[in-house]
Amino acid sequence: MKIRILRVLSVRANGPGVVAFVDDQLVKWNPKRGWITECDCEGDEDTSCPHVDALLDVLDPRVMGATA
């Protein structure tokens, strides 16, 4: 998948969040609201979709607050 990252701030940053385009689908993460996906593939449900999974693949888990 083609991933274009607009914004990545880890949970340790001030105002953390992730915004990226994955195959032209906008994928956003906001720690206060959990994963929010805006995809033509699955509407605006918060459930996981291939675009979110693809983005998670290229992010270090620590961005999302995982330890080790």
**In the complex, which residues of this chain contact Zn ion (CB under 5 A)?**
25, 39, 41, 49, 51
The CB-of-22 to Zn ion minimum distance in angstroms stands at: 7
Q: What are phi and psi of 14, to 5 degrees?
A: -85, 115
CA 3 to CA 34: how far, in whole Å?
Answer: 20
When the beta carbons of 18 and 39 are compared against Zn ion, the nearer one is 39
When the beta carbons of 6 and 13 are compared against Zn ion, the nearer one is 6
When the beta carbons of 6 and 41 are compared against Zn ion, the nearer one is 41
End-to-end CA distance of the chain: 27
The CB-of-32 to Zn ion minimum distance in angstroms stands at: 21
Query: 3-state DSSP call for residue 58?
Result: helix
